[in-house]
Chain A
C-alpha cells in the first residue's frame, strides 16, 4: 500500500478526515465572531462612543497583526539564512527595529489615542446637561436616581437604567462603599466610581435595545454578580415612562401587607406604599425588570422566593439578611407580589 494513492474505498474517508482536520480552522473563527455580537460586546457597538472604542481596537489589532507577521518573518529568515551578516548590520537592525521604530509607533499611537479622546469621552458642562442620571455603586447593586433640570431627585430605581435613543445620557457616577466601575460595553468605555467623588460619563444609544452593564472593578465577594441593564427606548416612550414614574399612585395588593408586616419596607422603598427604606434597592415597578438581584438570577417568582429565603446563598457578602425562617406561604406571597409589581 505504501507509495500508492488512496484507494476508492479510502478516498471518502480520507477527505472526511481532512475536513475534520480543517474544522477547527473554519469553526473557531466562526464561533469567535459569533461571540462578538450581542448585548454585552464592545465589538458590537450601539452608540458613537462605543464605535470609537471598537475602531481603536481594530486599528490596534491590525497594527498588532502586521508587527507579529514582520517579527515571525524575520525569525524565519534568521533561522534559514545562509549568508552571515556583520555585527554592524545586526546593530543597525536592533537600533532601527528595537528603538527608533517602536518609539515612532508608540508616539503615533499616543497621538491617535489623544486625538480620539474627545469622541470617546464626550464632555458636556453641567449647565448644558438636559437630564442627568445619578448612579451609585453599592455592594453589590446599583442605585439609580433620575435628576430633573435643577439637579433634584425625581425618583429612584435600581439595577436598571432607561435612556432615550439618539439623545446623550449624562451619568453622574458615585460609590457608596468601595470602588466600583460602571461599564456598558455596547455603549462605551468604563468609568470608575470612587467614594467621595462624582465622575461624569456621557453615553448615547443609536439603536433601541437592551444592553448589559457590569461592575468592572473588583469590589468584593459578589463582584461578578453585580450587573445591570440599560434599556434604550424611543424618546416619546421614555418621556411617558418618566411621567408615569414621577406620579406616585397609591398601591394596594394582596402581598403588600405580608411585605410590610415582615419589615421589608425598613430597607426597601415602593412608591405609593408605606415602604420607604433607603438601605436596599428601591423596588418600585420591580415586576418590569428583566433580571433579579442585579443580574444574578432570572426574573421568575420561584427565583424571587429563593432569593428572599436565602440571599447570601445566591450572592455571598450581600447585606440583606435571610428570611428563610418565614412561613413558606409568606415567602411565596411576597415573591408573587414583587413579580406583579408594575
Chain B
C-alpha cells in the first residue's frame, strides 16, 4: 500500500508548516466571527453554526499540526540523539531542523488550542 506520508522531507518549508497553520486558524477564527457578527442579519444560520464550523476548523488545524510534528519527530530520528546537533554535518543539520520543527509544532498546537478556547465561552454577538 502506498503511504500518503512522504518517506523523507528535507526542506526548510516544513519548519514553517505548523506556525502557518496556526496563523491561518487565527485569522480564520477572527475573520469568521467578526464578519458573522457584523452581518448576522443577512445570514440564515445562528452563531452556534459558526462555533461548530470553527470547532471543525480547529480539529483540522490540530490534525495537520500533529502530522507535521510526526514528520519532524521522524526527521529527528524519534529522539535517538540529544540536541544541540551543532556539528557542521548534513546529519546534524537534518536532526536540528527536525528538532526545531517539532518544538514549533508543539508551540503551534498550544496556540491553536488557546485561540479556540473563547469559542467555548463566547455564546453570542454583542451589538
Name the residue on A nearest B106 (C-beta): A99
The 9 closest A-B pairs by CB, nearest first: A114-B121, A123-B126, A103-B110, A110-B117, A114-B118, A111-B117, A115-B121, A110-B114, A114-B117
Report the bound CA distance from A273 to B48 in whole Å.
Answer: 56
What CA separation (Å) do A99 and B106 show in the bound complex? 10
Is residue A107 contacting chain B, with contact meaning CB distance below 8 A? yes
Q: Is A125 close to B, CB under 8 A?
A: yes
Q: What is the interface of chain B mostly: helix, strand, loop, or mixed?
A: helix
Number of B residues contacting the other chain (C-beta, 8 Å)? 11
The total of chain A residues at the interface (CB under 8 A) is 11
Q: When the two chains form the complex, which single residue of A107, A115, A117 contacts B113, counting CB atoms closer than 8 Å? A: A107
For B127, list chain A residues within 8 Å (CB). Answer: 125
Minimum CB distance partner of A123 in chain B: B126
Residues of B with Cβ closer than 8 Å to A?
Answer: 106, 110, 113-114, 117-118, 120-122, 126-127
Count how many pairs of residues, one from A and one from B, have CB atoms less than 8 Å apart in the complex.
Answer: 21
- The majority secondary structure among interface residues of chain A is helix
**Least CB separation from B83: chain A residue:** A91
Q: Which residues of B contact A106 (CB under 8 A)?
A: 114
Q: Note all chain A residues with C-beta closer than 8 A to B121.
A: 111, 114-115, 117
Q: Which residue of A lies closest to B118 (CB)?
A: A114
21 contacts between A and B (CB under 8 A): A99-B106, A103-B110, A106-B114, A107-B110, A107-B113, A107-B114, A107-B117, A110-B114, A110-B117, A111-B117, A111-B120, A111-B121, A114-B117, A114-B118, A114-B120, A114-B121, A114-B122, A115-B121, A117-B121, A123-B126, A125-B127
B-contacting residues, A96-132, CB 8 Å:
99, 103, 106-107, 110-111, 114-115, 117, 123, 125
Q: With A106-B114, A110-B117 given, can you name 8 additional A-B contacts, CB distance below 8 Å?
A: A99-B106, A103-B110, A107-B110, A107-B113, A107-B117, A114-B117, A114-B122, A117-B121
Q: In chain A, residues 194-246, which have Cβ atoms closer than 8 Å to a Cβ of chain B?
A: none
Cβ distance B27 to chain A, nearest Cβ, rounded Å: 19
Complex: A117 Cα to B121 Cα, angstroms: 9
Which residue on A lies nearest to B127, using beta carbons? Answer: A125
Inter-chain CA distance A85–B127, complex, in Å, is: 58
Specify which of B106, B120, B121 lies most central, judged by the most chain A CB atoms within 10 Å of its CB.
Answer: B121
A146, B110: Cα distance in complex, Å: 47
Minimal beta-carbon separation of B119 from chain A (angstroms) = 10
* Interface core residue of A106, A114, A115, A117 (most chain B CB under 10 Å): A114
Quote the shortest CB–CB distance from A97 to chain B (angstroms): 16
- Chain B residues near A114 (CB-CB < 8 A): 117-118, 120-122
With a cutoff of 8 Å between Cβ atoms, the chain A residues found around residue B117 in the complex are 107, 110-111, 114
Minimum C-beta distance from B34 to chain A (A): 16
CB distance from B5 to the nearest CB of A (A): 27
Q: Give the Cβ gap from B104 to chain A, nearest Cβ, in Å.
A: 13
Query: How far, in Å, is A277 (CB) from chain B's closest CB?
Result: 36
Shortest distance from the beta carbon of B90 to any chain A beta carbon, whole Å: 26
Contacts of B106 in A (CB 8 A): 99
Chain A contacts for B118, CB-based, 8 A: 114
Q: Which residues of chain B are near A115, meaning CB under 8 Å?
A: 121
Closest-by-CB residue of A relative to B124 is: A123
In the assembly, what is the distance between CA of A114 and CA of B126, in Å? 15
Q: How far apart are the CA atoms of A99 and B122 in the complex, in Å?
A: 27
Compute how far the CA of A103 lies from the CA of B110 in the bound complex, rounded to whole angstroms.
8
Residues of chain B lying within 8 A (CB to CB) of residue A110: 114, 117
Interfacial chain B residues near A103, Cβ < 8 Å: 110
CB distance from B58 to the nearest CB of A (A): 14
User: Would you give the shortest CB distance from B61 to chain A, in whole angstroms?
Assistant: 17
In the complex, chain A residues whose CB is within 8 Å of the CB of B114: 106-107, 110
CB distance from B62 to the nearest CB of A (A): 14
Q: Taking CB as reference atom, which chain B residue is nearest A104?
A: B110
Smallest CB separation, B96 vs chain A (Å)? 17
